[in-house]
Chains A and B, each alone.
Chain A
Amino acid sequence: MTSAASRTRPSSPTRLVIPSIHPTPSLSNIKDHRSSTLSVPLLPTPGLESSASSVTNLDLNEGILVHDVDPDVDTTRSEDTAVGQIDDVASEESRRNLRDHLRRTLSVQKEKSDAKRKLDQWLDISPDTTLEGYRPREYFVLTDAGKPVFTSRPDGKDVENSSSIMGVVQALLSVFLEDGDKLRCINTGRLRITFLLRSPLYYVCASSWGEPESVTRSHLEYLHLQILSIVTASQLRRIFERRTNFDLRRLLDGAEPFLFSLLDRIELDLAMATSSLNCLQLDQSLRVRVAEALVPTSKMKDTLYIILVARDIHILVNTVYSPSIVNSPASASWIPVCLPKFNPAGFVNAYITFFRRPDADQKSYQRTAADNETDVAETISASNVTENSQGITSWQTTRLIEDSGIGLVCISGGGEFETVRAWCDTVTQKLSDDGSLEALVKAVDSGKTSYFASQLGIPGLRHFVYKSRPHVQITLPAFEEPYDTLDAKRRIVTLYQIIHDAIHAKSGQTGNLKLQYIRTEKEIVMGWITQPFELYVVLSPRLPKTAVINAANAVTRRAMANMSSMFRISLSKIPLSRSVFLPIQNVHSRTVTTTVSSAFRRPDVPSPRGLFVNACFLLVIPTSLAPGQISTPQDFLKAIGRSSETKISVDSWDAFWRTSGSDMKNAGLSIQDRRYILWCMEKFRQNQPIEVFAHEPRPKKKIRGRGPAVQFGKRIRSRRDQ
Chain B
Amino acid sequence: MRPQLLKVIILGDSGVGKTSLMNQFVNSRFNSQYKATIGADFLTKEVTVDNRLVTMQIWDTAGQERFQSLGVAYYRGADCCVLVYDVNNSKSFENLNNWRDEFLIQASPHDAERFPFVVLGNKIDVDESRRQVTQKRVLAWCQSKGNIPYFETSAKEAVNVQEAFAVVARNALQQEAEEQLYVDYPDPIQIDRESTQSYGCNC
- A interface, CB within 8 angstroms of B: 61-62, 64-65, 78, 81-82, 84-86, 91, 94-95, 98-99, 101-102, 105-106, 143-148, 155-156, 159-160, 163-164, 167, 170-171, 174-175, 177-178, 232, 234-235, 239, 242-247, 249-251, 275, 303-307, 309-311, 341-343, 345-348, 373, 413-415, 578, 590-594, 626-627, 687
User: Given A102-B38, A164-B42 in contact, is the A146-B186 Cβ separation under 8 Å?
Assistant: no
User: Given A147-B7, A245-B78, A593-B191 in contact, is the A234-B55 Cβ separation under 8 Å?
Assistant: no
Whether the Cβ atoms of B2 and A627 lie closer than 8 Å is: no
A sample of 10 inter-chain contacts (CB < 8 A) reads A102-B39, A145-B76, A159-B3, A171-B42, A174-B73, A244-B110, A245-B79, A345-B189, A346-B186, A592-B192
Asked if B69 is at the interface (CB within 8 A of a chain A CB), the reply is yes
- B interface, CB within 8 angstroms of A: 2-5, 7, 38-40, 42-46, 55, 57, 59, 65-70, 72-74, 76-79, 102, 105-110, 176, 179, 181, 183, 185-189, 191-192, 194, 197, 199-203
Whether the Cβ atoms of A145 and B78 lie closer than 8 Å is: yes
| Extra A-B contacts (13), CB below 8 Å, given A244-B108, A592-B192 | A78-B72, A81-B105, A81-B106, A160-B45, A163-B55, A163-B57, A177-B73, A304-B191, A343-B189, A343-B191, A413-B188, A413-B189, A627-B192
Q: Write out the residue numbers on chain A whose beta carbons fall within 8 Å of the beta carbon of B67.
A: 98
Determine the distance from Cα of A330 to Cα of B187 in the docked complex, in whole angstroms.
27
Question: In chain B, what residue has the closest Cβ to A156?
Answer: B2
User: Given A98-B67, A245-B78, A593-B191 in contact, is the A64-B203 Cβ separation under 8 Å?
Assistant: yes
Whether the Cβ atoms of A346 and B187 lie closer than 8 Å is: yes
Which residue of A105, A175, A627 contacts B194 across the interface (Cβ within 8 Å)?
A627
Whether the Cβ atoms of B2 and A159 lie closer than 8 Å is: yes
Q: Nearest chain A CB to B9's CB is how many angstroms away?
A: 11
Determine the distance from Cα of A147 to Cα of B44 in the docked complex, in whole angstroms.
12
Which residue of A147, A160, A373 contacts B77 across the interface (Cβ within 8 Å)?
A147
Whether the Cβ atoms of A341 and B42 lie closer than 8 Å is: no
Whether the Cβ atoms of A82 and B72 lie closer than 8 Å is: yes
Whether the Cβ atoms of B181 and A250 lie closer than 8 Å is: yes
Whether the Cβ atoms of B2 and A171 lie closer than 8 Å is: no
Determine the distance from Cα of A234 to Cα of B187 in the docked complex, in whole angstroms.
10
Determine the distance from Cα of A105 to Cα of B41 in the docked complex, in whole angstroms.
13
Whether the Cβ atoms of B77 and A144 lie closer than 8 Å is: yes
Whether the Cβ atoms of B203 and A146 lie closer than 8 Å is: no
Whether the Cβ atoms of A171 and B73 lie closer than 8 Å is: yes
Whether the Cβ atoms of B44 and A307 lie closer than 8 Å is: no
Question: In chain A, what residue has the closest Cβ to B38?
Answer: A102
Q: Write out the residue numbers on chain B whose beta carbons fall within 8 Å of the beta carbon of A246.
A: 77, 181
Which residue of A91, A578, A590 contacts B66 across the interface (Cβ within 8 Å)?
A91
User: Given A144-B76, A159-B55, A243-B110 in contact, is the A309-B42 Cβ separation under 8 Å?
Assistant: no
Which residue of A65, A159, A245, A303 contacts B46 across the interface (Cβ within 8 Å)?
A159
Whether the Cβ atoms of B5 and A148 lie closer than 8 Å is: yes
Whether the Cβ atoms of B74 and A178 lie closer than 8 Å is: no
Determine the distance from Cα of A64 to Cα of B200 in the docked complex, in whole angstroms.
14
Whether the Cβ atoms of A346 and B189 lie closer than 8 Å is: yes
Whether the Cβ atoms of B79 and A65 lie closer than 8 Å is: no
Whether the Cβ atoms of A178 and B72 lie closer than 8 Å is: yes
Count of inter-chain pairs, beta carbons less than 8 A = 170
Determine the distance from Cα of A106 to Cα of B70 in the docked complex, in whole angstroms.
14
Whether the Cβ atoms of B7 and A373 lie closer than 8 Å is: no
Whether the Cβ atoms of A178 and B73 lie closer than 8 Å is: yes
Which residue of B109, B110, B202 contacts A307 across the interface (Cβ within 8 Å)?
B202
Q: Write out the residue numbers on chain B whose beta carbons fall within 8 Å of the beta carbon of A143.
A: 77
User: Given A167-B44, A244-B109 in contact, is the A310-B203 Cβ separation under 8 Å?
Assistant: yes
Whether the Cβ atoms of B72 and A247 lie closer than 8 Å is: no
Whether the Cβ atoms of B44 and A164 lie closer than 8 Å is: yes
Q: Write out the residue numbers on chain A whose beta carbons fall within 8 Å of the beta carbon of B191.
A: 303-306, 343, 413, 592-594
Determine the distance from Cα of A246 to Cα of B77 in the docked complex, in whole angstroms.
7
Q: Nearest chain A CB to B51's CB is how many angstroms away?
A: 18
Q: Write out the residue numbers on chain A whose beta carbons fall within 8 Å of the beta carbon of B188.
A: 346-347, 413-415
Q: Write out the residue numbers on chain B whose beta carbons fall within 8 Å of the beta carbon of A147.
A: 5, 7, 57, 77
Which residue of A99, A155, A311, A592 contacts B70 across the interface (Cβ within 8 Å)?
A99
Determine the distance from Cα of A590 to Cα of B191 in the docked complex, in whole angstroms.
10
User: Given A167-B44, A175-B73 in contact, is the A309-B201 Cβ separation under 8 Å?
Assistant: yes
Q: Write out the residue numbers on chain B whose beta carbons fall within 8 Å of the beta carbon of A155.
A: 2
User: Given A234-B186, A244-B76 in contact, is the A98-B70 Cβ separation under 8 Å?
Assistant: yes
Whether the Cβ atoms of B69 and A85 lie closer than 8 Å is: yes
Q: Nearest chain B CB to A363's CB is how many angstroms away?
A: 33
Determine the distance from Cα of A472 to Cα of B187 in the docked complex, in whole angstroms.
32
Which residue of B4, B66, B105 contacts A98 across the interface (Cβ within 8 Å)?
B66
Question: In chain B, what residue has the closest Cβ to A85?
Answer: B69
Whether the Cβ atoms of A687 and B39 lie closer than 8 Å is: no
Whether the Cβ atoms of A167 and B57 lie closer than 8 Å is: yes
Question: In chain A, what residue has the closest Cβ to B106?
Answer: A81
Q: Nearest chain A CB to B6's CB is how many angstroms away?
A: 9
Whether the Cβ atoms of B55 and A81 lie closer than 8 Å is: no
Q: Write out the residue numbers on chain A whose beta carbons fall within 8 Å of the beta carbon of B69.
A: 82, 85-86, 91, 95
| Most chain A CB within a 10 A radius of its CB, from B43, B57, B183 | B57
